[in-house]
């Protein structure tokens, strides 16, 4: 009796490249690049959101203050 293909496939894959070597090669790449590629988009979005909230808050405060001063002068 010949074994099924789906029983042989995982053995061939593990013989070609064991999962531990695959994980260590990913870790080496992330160490060389400086940060984890899986965390890079989330980190960028977090920084972008904080910076945009910061600037929008200060621009809103400046426009609000200028509007109050303008109304105070005009009345």
Nearest to 35 by CA among 44, 48, 22, 24: 44
| Residues 67, 61: Cα–Cα separation, whole Å | 10
Residuewise pLDDT in 10s, the chain (75 residues): 555 554 554 554 445 555 555 555 555 555 555 666 667 888 899 999 999 999 888 888 777 676 666 665 544
| Residues 20, 14: Cα–Cα separation, whole Å | 10
How many residues belong to the chain? 75
The whole-number pLDDT of residue 52 equals: 94
The whole-number pLDDT of residue 48 equals: 94
The whole-number pLDDT of residue 60 equals: 81
36: region left, alpha or beta (phi > 0 left; psi from -120 to 50 alpha): beta
pTM of this prediction?
0.33
The whole-number pLDDT of residue 21 equals: 55
| Residues 10, 19: Cα–Cα separation, whole Å | 11
């Amino acid at each position: 009796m010949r074994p099924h293909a789906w029983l042989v496939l995982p053995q061939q894959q593990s013989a070609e490249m064991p999962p531990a070597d695959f994980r260590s090669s990913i870790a080496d790449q992330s160490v060389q690049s400086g940060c984890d590629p899986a965390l890079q988009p989330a980190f960028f979005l977090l920084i972008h959101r904080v910076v945009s909230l910061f600037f929008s808050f200060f621009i809103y405060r400046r426009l609000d203050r200028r509007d109050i001063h303008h109304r105070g002068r005009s009345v």
